[in-house]
Every structure is written in C-alpha cells, then in structure tokens.
Amino acid sequence: MASIAARTYLTAEEYIAAERKATLKSEYLSGEIVAMSGASDTHNLITMNTSTALYNQLADQGCRIYASDMRVGISAGVSYFYPDIAVTCDKPRFEDDVFDTLINPQVIIEVLSDSTAGYDRGEKFIRYRQLEPLQEYILISQDQVQVDHYLRQSKKWVLSEFSALEDVLPLVSIGAELSLHQIYRFVEFETDDSLQNTHTV
C-alpha cells in the first residue's frame, strides 16, 4: 500500500541501491519516490486469502505467487512497484542477478484503500500496462464486495466487474479462478448493514 504524500526524487540506480538497504519499502515513478504505508487488517486478510487460493491451485503447475514483498520493474528503471500479489506461470525473469525485481508477471492484484484507489486505478495502471507479459490486472475493494478485473485483449483492456460473494472470477491467462467468497473470507464490513459480514470457517 503506497502513501502518495511522502515523496522525493532519485535516479533509478540510486533508488535500487537505497531500496536494497532500506527497512521500509518505497515505490518509484520516473524519479519520484512514493513511500509505502502499513496495511489494515482487512487488507492483509484479503491479500492472504487471495494469494493462498492461487497458491493452492497453481503451485503444482510451477507457477510463482509473490505477495507484497516482490518488487516489479517496468521498462528498465522507469518505474518500480510492490503489488499486493504478482503471479507468473512462466519461468520468472528478473532485472538483474540479485533476483529481487520481477519483470514478467502475468497477473497483478492490488487491494484498494481510500488513500491509494486513485493511484492504483490511474498512474499505476498506466505504467503496469507497459509490461508486455502482463495479461490481467485485478483491483479488490476492502470496503465492500467489489472486484474489478481488467483483461488484455490485443491492444485493449476489457473490464469485468464482480460484486456478489457467489461470483467467480476467471483468470484466463494462468488457468485459475477466484471466488469472491474466498477473497473476502473472514472480512467484516462495518459500513453496510446489508452486507453484514463474510465471516466463515
């Protein structure tokens, strides 16, 4: 989760050198450093639910599911991000021999917050689209049952929306699926009495 308030400017090389020594993560947009903030309980639940569901389906196929700490590099140093989840079912490729910057994710998933939703839908998505291997971009709301799925079709990105716990999201590029019931397991919504909560065992 990024905090778009704290910013400074570095070259890509300076950023990578500093990031590899840092105890706190930051993202990088063409010289601009965007500090990462902590994640909420709901954010962590959704990320763990989703990554676990994907791992259970894909690990035996050799797919890699990276949650939160794997940096993704775009266009040789123009941008670096820490998506909540990144998946590749191809052999992972990295920017250099430190193997901490993935460059070929097929699926990227971000869990939205009030402070980062515009960033994840806007500037970040614009830059993610520069990743040629990327085929699917998924945005998960933590305030309500809502998942937006963008699928690359030639030069277009086609949006599908899911808003019921019974819905199942197909991940066509990696041969998997995610039910919203899995994504929102144990999540309780306090702002909408009609939703009550999705706490299940």
pLDDT in tens, 38-93: 788 999 999 999 999 999 999 999 999 999 889 999 987 899 999 999 999 999 99
What is residue 116's predicted lDDT score, i.e. its pLDDT?
85
What is residue 77's predicted lDDT score, i.e. its pLDDT?
80
Q: What number of other Cβ atoms are within 10 A of residue 73's Cβ?
A: 23
Structure tokens at 167: 């819905």
Residue 1: pLDDT band by 50, 70, 90 thresholds?
low
pTM confidence score:
0.89
Delimit the domains of the chain by residue range. Answer: 40-183
Residue 196 backbone zone (phi > 0: left; psi -120 to 50: alpha; other: beta):
left
Distance CA 84, CA 43 (A): 9
Q: What number of other Cβ atoms are within 10 A of residue 114's Cβ?
A: 8
Q: What is the pLDDT of residues 104-150, one digit of tens each?
A: 999 999 999 888 899 999 999 999 999 999 999 999 999 999 999 99
For 40-183, give the CATH class.
Answer: alpha beta
* C-alpha to C-alpha distances, 140 to 36, 38, 45, nearest whole angstrom: 18, 17, 12
Is the pLDDT reported for residue 195 higher than 80? no
